[in-house]
Structure 1
Amino acid sequence: MTPILLWALRAALFLLAVAMLCALFRLLVGPSAQDRVMGLDCLYINGMLTMLVLGILYTSSVYFEAAMLIALFGFVGSTALAKFILRGEVIE
């Protein structure tokens, strides 16, 4: 692995950690339920991207599988939350 790629991956991990902190702040302090759902969406997307960067950094396919699971559960969770906010119930 070249030093430039190693530096770029570490910088990406740092910036993703900062983005996760910003999303966590929006999740906890958000003035409305929609802001909190958007903070949660941003948090799981940043978590998924962190797993992908770690998979590239450590050259392991386990991180890619974990990123796929995070994406799947995050999508299902955000869809359920959006439906709950709109209708007040998840299951009809």
Structure 2
Amino acid sequence: MVTYALFFALGCFGLGLLCNLWRITRGPDNSDRILALDTMVINVISLMVLYGIWRGTAIYFEASMLIAMVGFVSTVAYCRFVLRGDIIE
């Protein structure tokens, strides 16, 4: 029963990832693209955690933590680039 729930959750987050890719390519504004990238990072983290639960290993949890830190920093850097035109002052 847990396996079916994991596959359902993997499918839902995979569909959400595809919707984010569509929003990145067809987004009407840069702010929409930034939000789609941030949401895509969250979907990738959730997919990695679910895959780690399915495989029964802890390495995917550590990798998801690294992706979370890099995703946050990249979102902030991209927002600063859009707002100011440069990242480093």
Which one-letter code corresponds to 1:42 in the other structure? T
Task: Provide the aligned C-alpha RMSD in A.
Answer: 0.7
What's the % identity of the aligned pairs? 42
Tell me the residue number matched to 1:50: 47
Deviations 1:36-87 (A, max 9, x none): 1111111111000000001111110111011111101100000001111111
Q: Distance in 1 between matches of 2:23 and 2:63?
A: 24
TM-score (norm 2): 0.96
Tell me the residue number matched to 1:67: 64
Unpaired runs of at least 5, structure 1: none
Where do 4+ consecutive residues of structure 1 move more than 3 Å? Answer: none
SS of the residue corresponding to residue 54 of structure 1 reads helix
TM-score (norm 1): 0.93
Unpaired runs of at least 5, structure 2: none
Q: Distance in 1 between matches of 2:59 and 2:25?
A: 30
